[in-house]
Amino acid sequence: MPMHDRIIPYLERAELYHLARLNSQWFWLDEPLVSAFVERWRPETHTFHMPFGECTVTLQDVAFQLGLPVDGEAVSGCLGEFEKYMEGGRPAWEWFEDLFGERPPPNKVKHMTVHFTWFHERFRVLPPDASEETVRIYARAYIMMLLSTQLFGDKSANRVHIRWLPFVANLDDMGRYSWGSAALAWLYRCMCRVANMNVTNLAGPLQLLQSWIFWRFPSLRPAGFEVFSFPLASRWSAYLPPNDGKEQRVIRYRLALDRLTARDVSFIAIRVSFFVCSLFVTRYILVVVMYDEF
């Protein structure tokens, strides 16, 4: 969905503008590379087990790679009984209609989610003479899409959960939340889930994970991507991984990881206090209740 100029001030106040800029180009995941790293993920420590030791994605990585705030209030809520915890017990779909001017058709709704095509078709073109209230509606729609697909996506990768209604209802207050901490907690949770042999699809902020890999492991990054700006993940915006020979590429990445030494890794800020990081992120894993349909 395009980022209209008139909604940019709302994205800036919500501290999501840098993330939205990354959304301007399609993100392609290097599946064999990510799969090789997933195999080294240890749920008990939230770290990747490497030949030279342990390493992991940190809050600093989230701040620099995606440009998200890591300070502020926790992004919390309940997903399983969403409506019971809404302010005043108000029916969710009535609130949705108030915030967006209409309800999606029944064929676009599943439980508490809306198919992203409805948002894309309904809010793709902002009328040139749109009132400020209409601009706010389009800003809410864009943020709902951004959060549900780029940061906190589930394995379906095509649905927008309406649990974000309490946040987009007050656009001016969205900037007080620690979106970076919530995104990191969600990535950890997704990595722990996919480490289970019964789960095959990896969800979550994969743009963060892949950019972290390229920055921290120079020998694994694609050649020819030397120009970048903030946030750092913009460096790989035009990266298009090969689409063939995936099984052989996984094997090559496994061998490359087996041969890594400390000299092959960019250690700038990669060594963290795992005790402090674990306590901080575990707090968000406990309070941020996200998607459970894996």
- Please check whether residue 211 lies inside any domain of the structure: yes
- Please check whether residue 94 lies inside any domain of the structure: yes
- Please check whether residue 280 lies inside any domain of the structure: no
Around 43, how many Cα atoms within 13 Å sit in the side-chain half-sphere?
Answer: 11
pLDDT at res. 236: 94
pLDDT at res. 288: 45
Structural domain span for residue 50: 5-259
pLDDT at res. 256: 97
pLDDT at res. 196: 73
pLDDT at res. 144: 95
pLDDT at res. 270: 40
**What is the b/e burial string over 53-76, where b = at least 16 CB atoms within 10 angstroms of the residue's CB?**
eebbbbbebbbbbbbbbbebeebe
- Please check whether residue 294 lies inside any domain of the structure: no
Report pTM: 0.88
- Please check whether residue 288 lies inside any domain of the structure: no
pLDDT at res. 73: 94
Going by C-alpha positions, the residue among 118, 204, 111 that lies closest to residue 163 is: 111
DSSP letter string over the chain? ----GGGHHHHHHTT-HHHHHHTTS-----HHHHHHHHTTEETTTTEEEETTEEE---HHHHHHHH----SSB---B-STTGGGGSGGG--HHHHHHHHHSS---GGGEETTEEEHHHHHHHSSS--TT--HHHHHHHHHHHHHHIIIIIIS--TT-SEEEGGGHHHHTTGGGGGGB-HHHHHHHHHHHHHHHHTSTT-----S-HHHHHHHHHHH-GGGSPTT-----SSGGGGGTT-----S-HHHHHHHHHHHHHT--GGGS--TTT---HHHHHHHHHHHHHHB------
Q: How many domains does the chain have?
A: 1
**Average pLDDT by stretches of 10, the chain with 294 residues:** 92 96 89 94 94 94 96 79 61 90 94 92 95 97 94 83 91 96 94 76 90 96 91 94 92 96 75 43 45 40
How remote is the C-alpha of 69 from its chain's centroid?
A: 13
- Please check whether residue 222 lies inside any domain of the structure: yes
- Please check whether residue 171 lies inside any domain of the structure: yes
- Please check whether residue 212 lies inside any domain of the structure: yes
